[in-house]
């Protein structure tokens, strides 16, 4: 069966439905798996970044604590008398620096005014580390760039006398670049663009960074990086943020206690969640062939399942166009399609029965079940053709009941119908199977006879008399007997006449018989 519109095809609809279900399923899996993996990876990366930030923060804190502790130990062991002896003080400091070279840029001792006690010179006294040490606290200064290009960090601790009073300041400058701290940070890269930041919130600068160009540069202003703003006010933890370059990052923040700094371990979201993109690509690449394969399998299965239905529909369609005769369809399988085919066959059988019944009604009288005028004309036409072919004659007897109207008025229509059925039965009993008895009107009957064993005229007259005798028998109607007669007109034909001519001739003869008296017959040639 051919469909002008593919949308009218059940197979196409099922395939489209399967495709839509596959697309919806794939989209649902795509969205749910992507969301789950994104959240899971974000959490995992945040945990990793937190661990990395804490590790780097401890490393930096140990680095700073070691140097501050070294300065504090020197300050505690510095002989007081050396403060007034510059040369001996300088020799003492040089000896300690050689034994523990944690300050390769050297050590200095100055008084509260910034005057150096280990030699000539005046120190700058506005540094935060200098002012804190003068107040009796060990402190770090502001990281800065040295003339050599290295990043350096000044430190200062107080020197106290026996009474605990600050008598001098011990200063040292750590070379962050030479000590390898920055190299260590630069190796702490995560992904292609992730890395480590060491931030001094007091000085609002990046102390160190995996990206060397960011070292010793100012931190971004407020509102640029919201997570950075929170870290500057004391937040420690992890989160997702957008940096000053507009890149989304997963960042973790840990404190460096000895300095008040904090360490940021960061990685771009796009790189951290790269497995999500690969998973999405995998889903699309793997699902597409799978969906196509499933649709092909579904299409083949549906074609196999619907093949009997399509074949049955095609045969039924050809039957409706008259290309095939009406016949039951073959039941292939005992399933829903088989049930539908069986139902169609039952409907077809009922239709054929109805057609046969309609055909019978179209050619037979409803009261007596005798052939009507239409069937009589067909049989008369065939009889005339045979008569002309075989040189025979055909006899037509036109019967009209005498006194039927009086019977009908006296006993009623039901009795009249009963009388007609009884007369039809009697007439059928008189003729041969090759002859025809037809009812063509209310009380009018026609007998068609051919192939007489004796002369046609004599045979027709004998048959007419037998009809008169049979009808003359009493009829049992309404618990009483009644008798009616019949007038018969006879016409003979040799095949050169038309059915209408022969019936008209027999009708004329019947009227002559009525005029001559009831229960009689008259014969007229067809040509008269």
* Residue 454: CA count within 13 A, CB half-sphere: 7
Measured distance CA(14)–CA(281) in Å, rounded: 28
- Please give the average per-residue pLDDT across 86-101, as a whole number: 86
User: Are 159 and 167 contacting, i.e. CB atoms less than 8 angstroms apart?
Assistant: yes
- Average pLDDT over the chain, rounded to an integer: 84
Measured distance CA(415)–CA(72) in Å, rounded: 145
Measured between alpha carbons, how far is residue 57 from residues 51, 179, 254 in Å?
10, 16, 6
Q: For residue 231, is pLDDT > 70?
A: yes
Cβ within 8 Å of residue 193, ≥6 positions away: 247, 267, 268, 271
- Confidence category of residue 454, pLDDT binned at 50, 70, 90: low
Tell me what pLDDT residue 10 has: 64
Tell me what pLDDT residue 189 has: 57
What is the largest distance, in Å, between two alpha-carbon atoms of the chain?
A: 184
User: Are 445 and 439 contacting, i.e. CB atoms less than 8 angstroms apart?
Assistant: yes
Tell me what pLDDT residue 358 has: 73
Tell me what pLDDT residue 518 has: 78
Neighbours of 107 (CB within 10 A): 22
How many residues comprise the chain? 528
Q: First and final CA of the chain: distance in angstroms? A: 61
Q: For residue 188, is pLDDT > 60?
A: no
- Helix (H/G/I), strand (E/B), else coil: 187: helix
Give the domains, in start order, of the chain with CATH numbers: 1-272 (3.30.450.20), 275-359 (no CATH), 364-525 (3.30.70.270)
User: Are 390 and 456 contacting, i.e. CB atoms less than 8 angstroms apart?
Assistant: no
User: Are 39 and 311 contacting, i.e. CB atoms less than 8 angstroms apart?
Assistant: no
Tell me what pLDDT residue 187 has: 61
The sign one gets for the Cα dihedral 90, 95, 100, 106 is positive
- Confidence category of residue 491, pLDDT binned at 50, 70, 90: very high
Q: For residue 247, is pLDDT > 60?
A: yes
- Which backbone phi and psi does 497 adopt, to 5 degrees? -95, 165
User: Are 490 and 521 contacting, i.e. CB atoms less than 8 angstroms apart?
Assistant: yes
Q: For residue 280, is pLDDT > 80?
A: no
**Minimum mean pLDDT among 15-19, 58-62, 178-182: which range?**
178-182
- Helix (H/G/I), strand (E/B), else coil: 118: coil
> Can you list the alpha helix ranges (DSSP code H) found in 240-273?
269-272
| DSSP class per residue in 310-345 | HHHHHHHHHHHTTSS---PPP---SSHHHHHHHHHH
> Please, what is the angle between helix 499-516 and helix 373-390, to 10°?
110
CA dihedral 510, 515, 521, 526 (to 10 degrees): -40
Measured distance CA(407)–CA(416) in Å, rounded: 7
- Confidence category of residue 527, pLDDT binned at 50, 70, 90: very low
Q: For residue 219, is pLDDT > 90?
A: yes
Tokens of 467: 């009809």
Q: For residue 217, is pLDDT > 50?
A: yes
Measured distance CA(259)–CA(188) in Å, rounded: 20
Specify which of 111-125, 270-284, 285-299, 461-475 reaches the highest per-range mean pLDDT.
Answer: 461-475
Q: For residue 325, is pLDDT > 70?
A: yes
Measured between alpha carbons, how far is residue 207 from residues 16, 177, 267, 269 in Å?
62, 11, 19, 24
Q: Would the pTM of this model clear 0.75, i.e. be above it?
A: no
Tell me what pLDDT residue 137 has: 92
Per DSSP, which regions of 364-423 are E strands?
A: 394-402
Local structure of residue 242 (DSSP, 8 states):
E
Tell me what pLDDT residue 261 has: 93
Q: What is the pLDDT of residues 389-429, one digit of tens each?
A: 888 889 999 999 998 888 888 888 888 999 999 999 999 99
Tell me what pLDDT residue 182 has: 62
User: Are 263 and 197 contacting, i.e. CB atoms less than 8 angstroms apart?
Assistant: yes
As a three-state string, the secondary structure of 36-85 is: HHHHHHHHHHHHHHHHHHHHHHHHHHHHHHHHHHHHHHHHHHCCHHHHHC
Q: For residue 522, is pLDDT > 70?
A: yes
How far does CA 226 lie from the centroid of its chain?
Answer: 43
Cβ within 8 Å of residue 506, ≥6 positions away: 396, 397, 398, 446, 489, 490, 491, 524
Q: For residue 17, is pLDDT > 70?
A: yes
Cβ within 8 Å of residue 149, ≥6 positions away: 177
Measured distance CA(125)–CA(120) in Å, rounded: 16
Q: For residue 205, is pLDDT > 90?
A: yes
User: Are 206 and 214 contacting, i.e. CB atoms less than 8 angstroms apart?
Assistant: yes
> Can you list the alpha helix ranges (DSSP code H) found in 121-253?
128-134, 181-187, 226-232
- Confidence category of residue 7, pLDDT binned at 50, 70, 90: low
Tokens of 89: 């003080």
Measured between alpha carbons, how far is residue 299 from residues 24, 231, 294 in Å?
19, 61, 8
Strand partners, 195: 266
- Please give the average per-residue pLDDT across 353-375, as a whole number: 84
């Amino acid at each position: 069966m051919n469909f002008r519109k593919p949308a009218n095809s059940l197979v196409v609809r099922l395939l489209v439905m399967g495709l839509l279900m596959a697309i919806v399923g794939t989209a649902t899996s795509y969205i749910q798996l992507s969301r789950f993996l994104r959240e899971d990876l974000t959490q995992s990366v945040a945990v990793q970044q937190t661990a990395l930030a804490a590790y780097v923060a401890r490393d930096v804190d140990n680095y700073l604590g070691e140097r501050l502790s070294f300065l504090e130990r020197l300050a505690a062991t510095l002989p007081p008398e050396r403060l007034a002896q510059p040369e001996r003080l300088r020799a003492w400091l040089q000896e300690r620096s050689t034994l523990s070279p944690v300050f390769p840029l050297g050590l200095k001792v100055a008084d509260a005014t910034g005057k150096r006690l280990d030699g000539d010179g005046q120190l700058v006294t506005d540094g935060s580390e200098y002012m804190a040490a003068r107040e009796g606290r060990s402190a770090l200064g502001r990281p800065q760039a040295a003339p050599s290009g290295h990043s350096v960090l000044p430190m200062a601790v107080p020197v106290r006398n026996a009474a605990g009073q600050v008598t001098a300041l011990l200063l040292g400058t750590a070379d962050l670049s030479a000590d390898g701290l920055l190299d260590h940070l630069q190796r702490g890269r995560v992904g292609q663009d992730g890395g480590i930041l060491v931030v001094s919130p007091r000085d609002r600068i990046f102390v160190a960074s995996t990206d060397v160009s960011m070292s010793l540069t100012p931190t971004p202003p407020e509102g640029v990086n919201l997570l950075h703003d929170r870290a500057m006010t004391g937040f420690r933890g992890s989160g997702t943020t957008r940096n000053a370059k507009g890149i989304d990052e997963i960042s973790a923040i840990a404190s460096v206690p000895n300095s008040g700094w904090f360490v940021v371990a960061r990685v771009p979201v796009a790189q951290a969640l790269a497995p999500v993109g690969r998973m999405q690509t995998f889903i699309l690449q793997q699902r597409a062939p799978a969906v196509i394969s499933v649709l092909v399998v579904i299409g083949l299965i549906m074609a196999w399942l619907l093949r009997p239905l399509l074949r049955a529909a095609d045969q039924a369609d050809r039957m409706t166009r008259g290309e095939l005769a009406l016949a039951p369809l073959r039941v292939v399988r005992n399933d829903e399609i088989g049930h539908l085919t069986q139902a169609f066959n039952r409907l077809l059988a009922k239709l054929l029965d109805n057609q046969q019944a309609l055909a019978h009604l179209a050619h037979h009288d409803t009261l007596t079940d005798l052939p009507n005028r239409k069937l009589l004309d067909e049989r008369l036409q065939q009889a005339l053709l045979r008569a002309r072919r075989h040189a025979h004659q055909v006899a037509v007897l036109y019967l009209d009941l005498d006194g039927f109207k009086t019977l009908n008025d006296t006993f009623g229509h039901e009795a009249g119908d009963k009388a007609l059925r009884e007369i039809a039965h009697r007439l059928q009993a008189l003729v041969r199977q090759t002859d025809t008895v037809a009812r063509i009107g209310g009380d009018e009957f026609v007998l068609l006879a051919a192939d007489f064993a004796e002369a046609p005229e004599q045979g027709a007259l004998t048959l007419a008399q037998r009809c008169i005798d049979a009808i003359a028998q009493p009829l049992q109607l309404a618990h009483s007997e009644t008798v009616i007669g019949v007038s018969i007109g006879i016409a003979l034909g040799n095949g050169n006449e038309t059915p209408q001519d022969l019936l008209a001739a027999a009708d004329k003869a019947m009227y002559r018989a009525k005029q001559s008296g009831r229960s009689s017959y008259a014969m007229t040639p067809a040509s008269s």
